[in-house]
Structure 1
Amino acid sequence: MSNPLLHLLSKLSDMLGLSTAESFPAGHVYARTRWNKAYFDIASDVKPDDIERRICDAITNTPQVFGYINNPTPAMQRVMFGLIEQRLRLNHEREAGQLAALLLKAYDSPDIHEASAGLRAAIASTRDLELPVRVRALLAFLADMQSPFGVIEMSG
């Protein structure tokens, strides 16, 4: 088939919701957010708010999928804050550290929207340190921030 015909079929498939979305629509405030569509089965005709809700639900159910999202939205990041807090409350420090490491990796991108004031600067200030030190610094920052989930308590 010719290239224009393939392009037309692709557009038609998108309009009918037959293809899987891997980003928000062009022009959306989070258009730079991308996800691996192998981990998120979201039809291309789903509305942006519903896309974000579905991805947040997926993160809640399987936090490791956060690692398959480039430039996660602030709402997606706040889900991670809540999951980190939950793990710490349950004394699952190792899991909390693994989730914090995923958040650190997400901030490698200059295009990510900051979910909490000062988060980008706190992460950037540890860029040259070893990962365990960076994770502890991030957990300390999250413990100090005013979270809608309450206060994250770190064990000594």
Structure 2
Amino acid sequence: MTDSTASAAPVVRRAVLADDSALGELDRATWSTLHSVQPRPQPPYAPFFNERHTPQGILVAEAVNEAGERAPAGYIRVVPPTPLACNAHVRQIQGLAVAHWARGRGIGRALIRAACATAHGEGANRITLRVLGHNAPARALYEAEGFTVEGMLPGEFFLNGRYVDDMMMGHPLTP
């Protein structure tokens, strides 16, 4: 891989059903208690897309991988937090993953920016997320992109033998 392909900006697009296998593999490869409260996925693996998580709510970043091919490098799930009309002005990030080979290349930042732009384009004026308190890299990235801590649930989860805070962050969406 040349320096130009390593530093090329990722292309962010809406997910399609054909992404199911690649995104499922990415999700399993990046699973960690640093960011997930769900148990580690075990075979047989469920499809990545289902009735709750459709391609419509997922943005995919593509970048050039180690083999010099354009491939899914990450994804972000951005959906309405509830089905309530009184909450329709908000979108929530409910998942963000970046492939190990693509880390440090601006993929997460590109996905967050695309999520904010997409949410704003859909009429949302606010975007929120929840992040585990011990996930310092993710919190720093969100803060660098304008998110602020709006609440905390101390010791909300028990992971790897210790209690972990659940942080709620939000960001206003302005033109």
- Pairwise same-fold verdict (TM > 0.5): no
Question: In proportion to residue count, which structure has more strand?
Answer: 2
Determine which structure has more spread, i.e. the larger CA radius of gyration.
1
TM-score of the pair, normalised by structure 2: 0.27
TM-score of the pair, normalised by structure 1: 0.29
